[in-house]
Amino acid sequence: MDFELMITSFPKLLNAAVITLKLLSVSLFIGLFIGLLFAILRLNKNIFLNRFAYGYSYVFRGTPLLVQIFIIYFGLGQIEYLRSTFLWVILKEPYWCAIIAFALNTGAYTSEILRSAFQTIKPGLIEAGKSLGISNKIIFYKIQIPIAIRQSLPAYGNEMILMMKGTSLASTVTLMDLTGVAKYIISTTFKPIEVFIVAGSIYLFMTFCIHNVIKFLERKYTFNS
């Protein structure tokens, strides 16, 4: 055990963890909106919108995240037309490519979580709202969404942890996130176990934090049970 290496690499890895957290929070934020949009499309009666949303989630959940990042980072740059538009400003940055891939990926999973949450709401609650003369819009915002959020919290917590692990793939498109820096230190010092322990503990600490925040929210939003 090389404890000196563990101590000297700790601040470097901690700095890299900031990039991991940035990637995670931005992509989860965008992914939540994508997920909500596609969950609503999935519940729509229009068969084309419905199929489209299903296809989106099927493709993004059925292929590895690595393929998605590579298509966006290496693949899209190949289209001449895209290079001339303003989109190229975003797509030439590995940071934004990674975020687009992560957001689309987590969006697909989130849409499934939210869809099943909306579907498990008891029809009696919506009927109760209707019989009180509340408009459909308010029923959606004041009854369906809060219940769906509570229903989907445990599954969404898992998704957040999966996404945190997913951000490690940013290191494959030259971003120096926690895994990227860990790999760099391993390949220069050839001390994989020490670096794994330090980097792994940082990841586990983040997992622990997410887990507890979700637990706290679950308790907060559980009524009269």
Would you tell me which residues interact with another protein (CB under 8 A)? 58-59, 62-68, 70-71, 74-79, 161, 164-169, 171-172, 179, 182-183, 186-187, 190, 192-193, 196, 199-200, 203-204, 207-208
What is the smallest separation between the CB atom of 13 and another protein, expressed in angstroms?
11
Residue type, 23: L
CB of 21 to another protein, least distance (A): 14
Q: How far is the CB of 196 from another protein (least distance, A)?
A: 5
CB of 142 to another protein, least distance (A): 34
Tokens read off for 96: 């934004």
Beta strands in the chain (DSSP E): none
Q: Which is nearer to another protein, 139 or 195 (CB)?
A: 195
List Cβ neighbours of 62 (8 Å cut-off, separation of 6 or more).
none
User: Which residues are within 8 A (CB) of 94 and not within 5 positions of it... i.e. 6 or more apart?
Assistant: 73, 170, 173, 174, 175
Q: Considering beta carbons, is residue 147 or 198 the nearer one to another protein? A: 198
Report the distance separating Cα 89 and Cα 166, nearest Å.
24
* Cα separation, 163 vs 159, whole angstroms: 6
Q: Smallest Cα–Cα separation from 150: which of 222, 74, 225, 92?
A: 222
- Computed over its alpha carbons, how large is the radius of gyration of the chain? 21
The helix/strand/coil state of 121 is coil
Q: Of the two residues 156 and 203, which places its CB atom closer to another protein in the complex?
A: 203
Closer Cβ to another protein, 128 or 209, answer by number: 209
The minimum distance between CB 69 and another protein, in angstroms, equals 9
- Report the distance separating Cα 56 and Cα 61, nearest Å: 8
Nearer to another protein, 188 or 225 (CB): 188
**Of 26 and 126, CB closest to another protein:** 26
Q: Which amino acid is at 3?
A: F
- For the CB of residue 218, give the shortest distance to another protein in the complex, in Å: 19
What is the distance, to the nearest Å, from the Cα of residue 42 to the centroid of all Cα atoms in its chain? 19
